[in-house]
Amino acid sequence: MQAFLTLVAASTALALPQHHSGSHRHGHLQPRQPGLDFGPRRAYDTIGGSCGGSTGNTCQEGLCCSPWGYCGQGDAYCGDISTGSTPQTPSPPGPPANVSSAGPSAGPGLGLGLGNLYTFYKGTGATSAGWPSTSAWASFPVLWAANLGTISASCTQFGTANNSPDETAAVQAALLASAAATRVDARFLLAVMMQESKGCVRVPTTNYGVRNPGLLQDHDGAATCNEAAAGGVRNPCPAATIAQMVAEGAAGTAAGDGLKQCLVKAAAGGDEAQRYYMAARIYNSGSLPADGNLVSAGPTSDYASDIANRLTGWTSAAAKHAA
């Protein structure tokens, strides 16, 4: 396996939905829009961003432990308005956190990922073939912070209003809630969302033979805030609709599989990380290539490689794909 690594800055060109073949067709929005630089990276007090429960882990200053066991900010972490749960106390005061998608302290095993750089991965998705293991993935709070700038400006490309702070908070809460309900890693849900819509709650509903609405461009789901047949562009996009968009992508719909079902189909994967990369390919194309090469010719051949890079912290660095 040969990896092609590039660290140059990405162009700001915006991409349009592309045609995807297979039983699923997703209006994949190629992510080439730079996010924000959040400054030097600092390690979280918890490994992988987990906290609470039997772990005994606490969060650093300014962060709360969510009901789902992740450190972060906002109602999703410091108080769940839907369940009435009370916020947990942040850890004792300490230096303020500055989180970015790159930095000299980035590395596997600390929940920091590999930073904002792109490696083109080939092959079956196995760690033995050079694909990143789950220990190289960044924690959910790190990934969320790294992508927040892109999420906040993601609707400009569609000529609609960008997410409001409340809408973006609802997206974050929806990702965590669906992760808890489906047992699909919240980081994977976030990575697929960034690949499909960049987090724009008013992403258009695409249809290249199969209708794909919502944040995860799911298989003919009901929830959308941008479709002529569903009332056009909705502003604000209701929190319940945002939650349903993510749930339909994660848990599936009556018409087709979600990421949960794709992970089941990828059960033959040799390790946990490989299963997720295989599931990404299945979600994008509907099946795995006969030769097992996740980046072989198909709907969007670089999809699984992009997801692997997103999970380790890639946001805006230029990506070199297969010729």
Give residue 302's pLDDT band: very low, low, confident or very high (50, 70, 90).
very high
Q: Which residue type occupies 65?
A: C
Which tokens go with 316?
């805006």
The answer for residues whose C-beta is within 8 angstroms of residue 116's C-beta and 6 or more apart is 100, 101, 102, 146, 313, 314, 315, 316, 317
For the chain, give me the number of helices (H) and strands (E)? 8, 8
CA nearest to 179, candidates 274, 28, 76, 319 = 76
Question: Would you say 84 and 38 are in contact if contact means Cβ atoms under 8 Å apart?
Answer: no
The span from the CA of 63 to the CA of 75, in Å, is 11
Characterise 32 by phi-psi region: left (phi > 0), alpha (psi -120 to 50), beta (else). Answer: alpha
When computed from its CA atoms, the radius of gyration of the chain, rounded to whole angstroms, is: 18
Tell me if residue 305 falls in helix, strand or coil: helix
pLDDT in the model for residue 99:
27
pLDDT at site 25 = 45
The residue-averaged pLDDT of 84-110 equals 33
Least reliable range by pLDDT among 98-107, 158-167, 286-295: 98-107
Tell me how far apart the alpha carbons of residues 60 and 198 are, in angstroms, rounded to a whole number. Answer: 28
Architecture of domain 4-39+115-138+154-311: Orthogonal Bundle (1.10)
Q: Model confidence at 93, in pLDDT bands (50, 70, 90)? A: very low
Stretch 125-152: mean pLDDT: 96
Q: What is 65-97 written as a DSSP string?
A: E-TTSBEE-SHHHH--TTTTPPPPPPPSP-SPP
Tokens representing residue 261 in the block: 């079902």
The residue with greater pLDDT, 94 or 299, is 299
Whether the per-residue pLDDT at 301 is higher than 50: the answer is yes
Report DSSP letters for 180-235, one per residue. HHH---HHHHHHHHHHHTTT-TTPPPEESSSEE-TTTT-SS-S--SEEGGGTEE-S
Q: pLDDT band at 2, cuts 50/70/90? A: very low
Query: Has residue 62 got a pLDDT over 70?
Result: no
* 3-class SS of residue 51: coil
- Do residues 38 and 141 lie in contact, with contact meaning Cβ atoms separated by under 8 Å? no
- Higher-confidence residue of 300 and 233: namely 233
Q: Which helix (H) or strand (E) holds 168?
A: helix 165-182
Contacts of 231 (CB under 8 A, 6+ apart): none
Q: Where are the domains of the chain?
A: 4-39+115-138+154-311
pLDDT digits (tens, 9 = 90+) for 209-227: 899 999 999 999 999 999 9
Residue 227 to residues 204, 233, 235, Cα–Cα distance (Å): 6, 6, 12
